[in-house]
Structure 1
Amino acid sequence: MIKEWATVVSWQGGEAVLSCDVKASCSSCASRAGCGTRVLNKLGPQTTHYITVPSEKPLTPGQKVELGIAESSLLGSALLVYMSPLAGLFIMAAVFQALFGSDIAAACGAALGGVGGFLLARGFSPTLSSRESWQPVILSVGLPPDILRVETPSSESR
């Protein structure tokens, strides 16, 4: 199970809207000064993702929840997204090379196969994402933000 913390934006009728912050993958590495991935992460937008998750328990805005998703669903979706365009690229490049016998035809076939594989993955993704085992679930719920309050003695009351 892959776990991540999210913040409740709203809860209504058994559905919780949660916000998940995008985390840069390279903030604590020892070689971060010379890392190209860190530079690319700085260029991209730092956005917040919103997700709707069923929750029978009432939640308050600002409350933290721990989300979990099965490793198999993450691996399956990554396999679909990355391997279908790659397989289409190689298969169509080989077919066009065999049919037309030129490198230009193979390059065109590779481009068509890559785009076709991407469209195939895009077409299958709604079907696969509707599976219940591929949906994130709430594993644990933190305290509401207004429950815990820490008071420190002020310097005037001494």
Structure 2
Amino acid sequence: MIKEWATVVSWQNGEAILRCDVKASCSSCASRAGCGTRLLNKLGPQNHHMLSVAIEQPLVAGQKVELGIAEGSLIGSALLVYISPLVGLFIVAALFQALFGSDLAAFCGAVLGGVGGFLVARGFSAKLSHRADWQPVILSVALPPDALRVETITSADGR
């Protein structure tokens, strides 16, 4: 189980809207000059993700919850997203190369196969997203932000 903490944005009718902050450790890595992940993180300004999770327990905004997702579903979705466009790219490029015998045809086939593989992954991910084992679950719930109060006691002589 892969775990991550999230913050409750809102809760209504058994459904919580959660915000997960993106944690990028790109500043501390030794290979930051040639890292593709660092470049991708710079492209988008998104520093958090919003998601919806079903939970019957009432939650308040600002409350922290621990989310979990099964490793198998995460690996399966990563394989679907990365492998299907790659397989489509190679298969259609090889097919166009064999049929038309030119590099330009192979290039066009590669583009079509990659886009087709992406569309296949998109279609399968929509179907797989409804499976219960592919959904994140709330593992634990922290105290509400207003449940803990800290008081400082000062002595009469001002110390």
TM-score (norm 1): 0.90
> 1:32 and 1:79 mapped to 2: Cα distance?
25
* Residue aligning to 1:88: 88
Write the distance in 2 (CA, Å) between the matches of 1:38 and 1:124: 25
User: Using the alignment, how far apart are the partners of 2:42 and 2:130 within structure 1?
Assistant: 33
For structure 1, the residue ranges without an aligned partner over 5 or more in a row are none
One-letter amino acid of the structure 2 residue matched with residue 113 of structure 1: G
3-state SS of 2:68 partner: strand
Distance 1:93 1:13 in 2: 50
For residue 51 of structure 1, give the secondary structure of its aligned residue in structure 2. strand
Is 1:56 aligned to residue 42 of structure 2? no
Seq. identity, % = 72
List gaps (5 residues or longer) in structure 2: none
Alignment of 1:92-131 (within 5 A): 92-131=92-131
Compute the displacement of 1:82 (Å). 0.5
Q: Give the aligned residue type for 1:116.
A: G
CA distance 1:153–1:37, shift in 2 (3 Å)? farther
When normalised by structure 2's length, the TM-score is 0.89
Residue matched to 2:12: 12
1:25–1:37 Cα change, 3 Å:
farther
Change (3 A) 1:27 1:141: farther
Number of aligned residues: 157
CA deviations on 1:26-84 (whole Å, 9 max, x unpaired) are 2443x267464575234431332111101111111111000000011111111111000
**Aligned residue identity for 2:57:** K
